[in-house]
Every structure is written in structure tokens, then in C-alpha cells.
Amino acid sequence: MALNDKGCSDFHISPKLAAAKKASEIVEDGMVIGIGSGTTVELFIKELSKRISHEELELFGVPTSYQSMLLAIEAGIHLLDLLECSELDICIDGADEVDLKLNAIKGGGGALTREKIVAYASREVVFVVEERKVTKILKYPVPIEVLPFSTGYVLKTLSKVMRDYGSSSKPRLRHGTGKLGPVITDNGNFIVDCDFGDIENPKKLEKELSLIPGVVECGIFAGVADRIIVGGEGGNTYELSR
């Protein structure tokens, strides 16, 4: 792991916007971009839109959610899917938490399955976060996308896995605020959130969760990112890299 100070400073912008602006600067004309989801990515797309307008860039994108798709269309990014382009130049995405080894937990917005597919389909993966999301050991609750049919079995199995990892918490089926009932992903599935406490071995837990029948994908992204752009106070940014 290397920490690189990039020397960007603007006291009038937030850490999240500073990181998003820095990410927009690494995109080059003609690139095919994997576009993640979430509030940081929303800022990234808006910053990229300015470059598209001012520099007359032609960019292509594979969005991971309806939110990102609508924002990309508005920004002037030409949409593709993985049938048209199976390998992307770069993936830009946010994260709920990252550690110093570039592991991450994602899925707060419920798009974790498509985000993981797009990340693995990209030549380079860049996560963009605020400094407060950087930690030595991952501990953020892990989102898990689950087939509705399997929910009862998966909740029971996840309870056992959590006990094995020393957690006294229980898996929680995520409910939305805009409608009654569980959150439904863009794939038509449920989200279960699991608090494992400190995650000492993200790769091991990621594999264990993914092997549970009925689990579509989990929100641990172990060893996926090539670098992480971090926005700090005063508009400063720096990078974590391998």
C-alpha cells in the first residue's frame, strides 16, 4: 500500500466533492467507464458533465443503477451494456468504508451486485471516498443481496455465520422509507445487512458469504480496487494505491 499526496486544495469544497472532482480529472476522451452508484458518484458525474461540455469529450459508460443511468444520460455520456463492451477502461465508484489495504464494503445504495460485476469487468478500478470512510479494519455492516424466495433460509444461515464470527447482532432485512416493505434492488431482490464487527479477513468472509445458496452477492470488495481517491478537509485529496 502506498499513500500519495496529490496536493489538491480548495477550502471552499467538501471532502466528498474534492474526491469527486479529482476522479473526474483522470477520465480521458473516448474512455468506456464503469459508473458506480451513490452520492459521491453523483458528484463525479456532474463534474464529468462539465468536462464533456467544455472539452467536447466523447465518453461511454456502463451504469450500475437506474440512478446512475439517468445521471449519465443527463451528462451526455453514451450508454453501453456489457453485451456491447465486455471490458471497460476504468470503473469509478464510491464505497461505504475502505481499509488501508484497499478492501472495501459497498452496497449502502443497494447496487452491490452490478457494482461488483462492472468492477471486475474493468481494467482499472478506482474507489472515491471521504477521509472519514478510511479505517484500519473494516467494520461497516455488510450488505448482502438475497433472492426473495431464499430469504428465510439465508437469514437463518447468516445468523449462524455471524455467531461464528463473534457477533451478537442479527441479520436485518433492509426496509425502505419511500414505500412499505423491504427494499427491492434493481435486480428485483432483497437486501440483508449484517454487522460482523471488526472484519479481520475480508477475503475469507466474502467467499464464505457468497457460497450461501440464495445469496446473489455480498458487499465486501476484497482486493478489487487498484487505487482509492480520498477527499479530506479543506479540499485536499490523496490516493491509496497498491
pLDDT in tens, 18-30: 999 999 999 999 9
All domains of the chain in start order, with CATH? 2-135+223-241 (3.40.50.1360), 142-216 (3.30.70.260)
What separation, in Å, do the N-terminal and C-terminal C-alpha atoms of the chain show? 4
Taking only the tens place, the pLDDT of each residue in 37-95 is 999 999 999 999 999 999 999 999 999 999 999 999 999 999 999 999 999 999 999 99
| Strand ranges across the sheet with 97-99 | 134-135, 97-99, 104-105, 220-221
Compute the Cα dihedral for 216, 139, 225, 34 and give only its sign: positive
Nearest Cα residue to 194 out of 233, 229, 159? 159
Q: How far apart are CA 76 and CA 109, in angstroms?
A: 23
Alpha-helical (H) ranges within 26-85 are 39-55, 66-75
Q: Residue 20: what are its φ and ψ, rounded to 5°?
A: -65, -40
Strands 190-194 and 172-173: antiparallel
Cα(21)–Cα(181) distance, integer angstroms: 36
Asked if residues 44 and 24 have their Cβ atoms less than 8 Å apart, the reply is yes
State how far the Cα of 116 lies from the Cα of 145, in Å rounded to an integer.
Answer: 12
Report the pLDDT value the prediction gives residue 13, as an integer from 0 to 100: 85
Catalytic residue among 47, 97, 115, 217: 115
> What value does the CA radius of gyration of the chain take, rounded to a whole number of Å?
18
pLDDT band for position 124 (50/70/90)?
Answer: very high
Which pLDDT does position 242 carry in this prediction? 82
Active-site residue flag, 115: yes
pLDDT bracket for residue 12 (50, 70, 90): confident
Residue 190 contacts residue 173 (beta carbons within 8 Å): yes
For 15, the enclosing helix (H) or strand (E) is helix 15-25
